[in-house]
Amino acid sequence: KQEVTQIPAALSVPEGENLVLNCSFTDSAIYNLQWFRQDPGKGLTSLLLIQSSQREQTSGRLNASLDKSSGRSTLYIAASQPGDSATYLCAVFTGGGNKLTFGTGTQLKVEL
């Protein structure tokens, strides 16, 4: 059974700081990994999708890497802003039912 863990559970940083969020998964037989952002009480916004054959993806100030063999992914946020404050979720897609398994999330707060 796939299990996804995110560290840290919560993070508070000053504006402008670069930061790294971590995601680990137990079964390396994944098809892709997706990072999402969730604002309080809202739905999910897709940030980045990394296919299993890829090592990283970039979008603006965000960079996500994937090390499939070790079961790890990182989300790097450059020059953080208060608007980045949200919960960040990673999810891995495994076969056998087109199923996304979600991590526990990292709650990020960027302070002025």
Kindly determine how many residues on this chain lie close enough to bind another protein according to the rule CB under 8 A: 23
Q: Is 109 in the site for another protein (CB under 8 A)?
A: no
Q: Is 42 in the site for another protein (CB under 8 A)?
A: yes
Return d(Cα 108, Cα 69) in angstroms, integer: 27
Return d(Cα 35, Cα 69) in angstroms, integer: 18
Distance set, CA 108 to CA 39, 44, 54, 71, 94 (Å): 10, 15, 26, 23, 27
**x/- contact string, 86-105, with another protein (CB under 8 A)?**
---x-x-x---xxxx-xxxx
Of residues 43, 60, 69, 83, which one binds another protein by CB under 8 A? 43
Query: In this structure, how many other beta carbons lie within 10 angstroms of the beta carbon of residue 102?
Result: 14
- Summarize as ranges the residues that interact with another protein (CB under 8 A): 31-32, 34, 36, 41-46, 49, 51, 89, 91, 93, 97-100, 102-105
